[in-house]
Amino acid sequence: MKKLILFALFFALTRVYGQDSAIHVIPQPVEIQQSTGEYTLTSVSTIGFNNQDSRKIADMLVQKLNNPTGFSFKAEQTNSASIQFNLNKVPVSQLGKEGYSLVSGTSGVVITANETAGLFYGMQTLLQLLPKEIESKTAVSMAWTIPIVKITDYPRFGWRGLMLDVSRNFFTKEEVKSYIDQLSRYKLNTFHMHLTDDNGWRIEIKSLPKLTEVGAWRVPRYGQFGGRAKPVSDEKATVGGFYTQDDMKEIIRYAQDRNVTIVPEIDIPGHSMAAIASYPELSCTKDQDTKVNPGSSFSEWYKDGTFKMLLDNTLNPSDEKVYEFLDKVFTEIATIFPNPYIHVGGDECYKGFWMKDAGCLALMKKMNMAKPEELQAYFMKRVEGILKAKGKKLIGWDEILEGGIGPEATVMSWRGIKGGIEAAKMGHNVVMTPTTYAYIDYQQGEQTIEPPMYASLRLEKCYNWEPVPEGVDAKYILGGQGNLWAEQIVTLHHAEYMTWPRGWALAEDFWSPKESKNWANFVPRVEKQFERAEIEGVNYSTAFYDAIVNVRGKDGEMTLEMNSEVPGLDVFYTIDGAMPNIYSNKYSSPVKLPPGPITVRVVTYRNGKQIGHLITLNPEELKGRISTR
């Protein structure tokens, strides 16, 4: 009976949590109980820490609070501050390394954890409990209230990541720091930097200066990536940039203070045109005219998923000088980055130039290799040996499974979940990052409105992702990661637009218990984060408010089916050329279009006010999206 009473009480409290406007935390905590009442932060409130290890978190909170509140807090060592940070003397096993407990009452708040990472995450939750104006950069006069809650929280996965592609377009040191700030507040703890590719080499390697003297710069080009003009002779390469080793060490320290591990990626043996432009002798063709690619096409892709490279962008696996080059690169990378993993790419490696190279063919014959995939496996095992000698672990995209894989390699499964399943069943650790759920460079809404991209990933699908595939032992799934490829992304403003709110959905996928996830509950929490982001000056997408318009075709007739991701929106439409509003046709069931060149306009409303973008579909667009399903 006592257990039933306690369960009923907990259920009632968690229901209050789901409904109360003051509680909109992302990612959703494991357990949260709310009571009536609140604590008000004032100028006489104090912020304390119980030992020197917890001091830095208290200091971070002081820095965050002083500007918006206008108060002059200072952190002090004590056990009885208004907001108290305590590291446990005896670890609580339930909390692990990153968990925390947060208890607020009418007299203040106590955040407790086993390690500083937990205190940091407790602080992030506390900030989300405060009014949205806490994100202001200037003082705001208001009541700084914190609801009375008891929270016990810890992550589901240890690897909770986002990848930013800084090769295709360079982001400055300060922009990278800003992005780290944003991801860390949602308890994401891994920042994967795609540092090298065909379009730029972004990290200083002192023993190989041409990598940044040449490889970090490309000729100026605009327009759709993949359709730009090729470099011409004697054209100056003026677009790009790179991080000095001191820059990167500064970024790493900044990330460490926010419990974020940076994973560097040196993409090899394919995607290496920037390196080859710097040192042409590294490739099979040794083409001295190789240039850093500015976004022009140099490949042909076929419907079956295969492709052909028209220019050689691949390192020569049969040349010992390539391994000497890589040893120099990874010696310096290993010194700069303290984390155990170095990402070595391994994806989309074209092997056609290998199969025409005498050295590669001789190596295949010597090693009794039957197919070129084994040559890549040979290359990767050599690279793994280089990394292992420097105390590092190899991680790569799922193509590294082809032809055989080193016994200690970790796999990032991006081509769906198949590679992750295969790797886990072989006993390899896996980070799940499938295109279908985690590629946040994809369009997130109506294709006629969103920036052009060849695929789509809506917020709801992102949120409903389960990172552990059915039938796989969860112990091999380190966690998951969202990937932001930057071919079409030039500014941090645009990167933010593509990341949020899908990054919030991924944060909840990776942190919160899967049993507690609920789309209808997530939507209002996203909307509260919109308000906070707006005050802070962080960009975001509202595409999930837009109507979803599907066209069915049968016997020459077209039928419209419309809905929205957000529950409770009204969809209004016109087929007579007029602009839609609340006086137009309200969608309730499939609409059969009359014959003729119809233009459909659609918009969503909530509570009598327009909330979604106007969608205009001309006859050609309607015809192009016909489905017979």
Q: How far apart are CA 314 and CA 561, in angstroms?
A: 47
* Known catalytic membership, residue 348: yes
Cα first-last separation, the chain:
53
Burial class from Cβ neighbours inside 10 Å (0-12, 13-18, 19+) for residue 186 reads buried
* Known catalytic membership, residue 496: no
Provide the 3-class DSSP secondary structure of residue 76: strand
Catalytic residue, from 192, 271, 428, 613: name it. Answer: 271
Phi-psi region of 616 (alpha: psi -120 to 50; beta: other; left: phi over 0): beta
CA atoms in the 13 A half-sphere facing the CB of 465:
31
Provide the 3-class DSSP secondary structure of residue 44: coil
How is residue 285 written in tokens? 């063709």
**Residue 526 is which amino acid?**
V
How is residue 221 written in tokens? 């080009």
Long-range contacts of residues 422-431, Cβ cutoff 8 Å, at least 24 apart: 422/398, 423/398, 423/476, 424/469, 424/472, 424/473, 424/476, 424/477, 425/472, 427/476, 428/476, 429/476, 429/478, 430/476, 430/477, 430/478, 431/159, 431/161, 431/395, 431/477, 431/478, 431/479, 431/480, 431/481
- The residues near 402 (Cβ < 8 Å, ≥ 6 apart) are 373, 376, 377
Asked if residues 318 and 360 have their Cβ atoms less than 8 Å apart, the reply is yes
Q: How far apart are CA 68 and CA 592, in angstroms?
A: 54
Q: How far apart are CA 24 and CA 17, in angstroms?
A: 8
> Which residues in 198-232 are b (16+ Cβ under 10 Å) and which e?
bbbbbbbbeebeebbebbbbbbebeeebeebeebe
How is residue 91 written in tokens? 């670890």
Catalytic residue, from 197, 267, 319, 332: name it. Answer: 197
Provide the 3-class DSSP secondary structure of residue 49: strand
Q: How far apart are CA 507 and CA 230, in angstroms?
A: 39
Catalytic residue, from 348, 374, 460, 527: name it. Answer: 348
Place of tokens 């790419």: 345
* Known catalytic membership, residue 197: yes
Rg (CA), the chain: 27
Of 549, 551, 579, 547, give the one whose Cα is nearest residue 564. 547
- What interhelical angle do 173-184 and 492-499 show, nearest 10? 20
Bridge partners of 307, per DSSP, are 301
Q: How far apart are CA 317 and CA 454, in angstroms?
A: 32
Bridge partners of 484, per DSSP, are 164
DSSP per-residue codes, 527-567: HHHHHHHHHHT-----GGGS-EEEEEEETTEEEEEEE-SST
User: Looking at the annotation, which residues are catalytic?
Assistant: 197, 271, 348
